[in-house]
A = this chain, B = another copy of it.
Amino acid sequence: MEAVAHGSCDVRFAPVADRFAEMLTHDDGYSAQLSIRLHGEPVVDLAGGTYLAARSLTGVYSVSKGVSALVIAHLIDQTAIEPDRVVSHYWPEFGAAGKANVTVRQLLGHQAGLPVAARRLSLDEVLDSRAAADVLAAQRPVWRPGTAFGYHALTIGVLMEELVRRVTGTTLQTVYEAAIRGPIGADFFLGLPEIEDSRYVPVDDPKPTAAEVAELAARPPVDALQEAVFSNVDAPEDRSDRGMSTNNPLVRRAGAAAIGGVGSASGLSQLYAAALGTGRVRIAAPEVFADMAQQQSWGTDRVLGVPNCFGMVFMLPQPRMPYGGLGSFGHDGAGGALAFADPTSGLSFGYIPAPMQYPGGADGRSIELARLAAHVVNHA
């Protein structure tokens, strides 16, 4: 059996490793990294399948948002950002067109009504997000702020980046590198240095089954807002080196806050372990994370059209995606990667499958592995 995972696993977490091995055994095309820490100590560190090795780095799409949120947490911890202030306190232009009363808390909870820029953006405008931020600041929200929320799939990154720029004078990526990634030594980058390109494994297209393709074709027509959100950037939709994935060197070099992160599962569990206050590097006080993990948004996501649940930036466990215990915070990504921390159990979790899973987002495998790990801790 060649498909089983390689790496290390604390004996207590053998049920997790066993299940992961089963998954690999039963699906030749499946490859993944799985890294779990308990109170900061590595307890599962495995890679399996032919696609990803232990040292591989790859793009994780929206899992990047959770990592960018660590920068926000750090700035809240320093009181550089205060969540209950209006955004225009930091970013005066943002107050235009009915947004004067929008708070940082609402902005970060996907409530500001800016899931799509009023005009199509070039890829350059997304990567150096100042121009994109100008567009968003000037426009009328799609919904009246405070009446709805919806996944700001790309724009939450633009908004975080501009907010950080206004309060620090530098970029979110610079703060991340200086205050978080560097000190921790985490194997996860917002802006992959060229020297690490040798470890980069391209993201590949998901391979839906015939049944999934049929199910997709039978769906009702896509909502106008959803369509606009997911075609807002003038770039190829494929995984080419000119598209909007990290396969494009410009994207992975820029490390866009919403979708440009590149790293390993181990890097992700390292970061979320630090968020739990383990290790030497303080990202933010537990109270800051508890505040960011308080539910701000719940109901039917106006963009995605399904139930969803957000704190500030972070996704929270919810019926559709019960990945951690109450109080957990994290983010999933297109293709199936998932990373989160659970302050109650002390677990931090990083998981990256390849090729990308269909339909994407936290899927049955990641959820099952996360639940098994929680079960180990809760029944120890």
Contacts and interface: CB of A to CB of B under 8 A. Distances in A.
So how many copies of this chain end up in the complex?
Answer: 3
Interface residues of A, number: 43
A224 B325 CA distance: 5
Nearest to A98: B294
A296 interface: yes
Contact of A223 (B105, B144, B222, B319): B319
A156 B177 CA distance: 46
Interface string A176-189: 00000000000000
Contacts of A295: 113, 142-144, 147-148, 302
A296 B144 contact: yes
A88 interface: no
Contacts of A54: none
Q: Is the interface of A mostly helix, strand, loop or mixed?
A: loop
A15 to B, nearest CB: 16
A116 B299 contact: no
A21 interface: no
Contacts of A285: none
Q: Of residues A222, A294, A328, which shows the largest number of chain B Cβ atoms within 10 Å of its Cβ?
A: A294
A300 B318 CA distance: 12
A317 B227 CA distance: 12
A303 to B, nearest CB: 10
A121 interface: no
A326 B228 contact: yes
Nearest to A328: B224
Interface in A208-250: 220-228
A105 to B, nearest CB: 8
Given A228-B326, A317-B224, A302 B298 contact: yes
A366 interface: no
Nearest to A228: B326
B223 A318 contact: yes
A355 interface: no
Contact of A221 (B148, B226, B325, B367): B367
Interface of A: 98, 105, 113, 116, 140-144, 147-148, 220-228, 290-291, 294-300, 302, 305, 307, 317-320, 322, 324-326, 328, 367, 371
The 6 A-B residue pairs whose C-beta atoms are closest, nearest first, are A143-B295, A224-B317, A223-B319, A148-B298, A228-B326, A224-B326
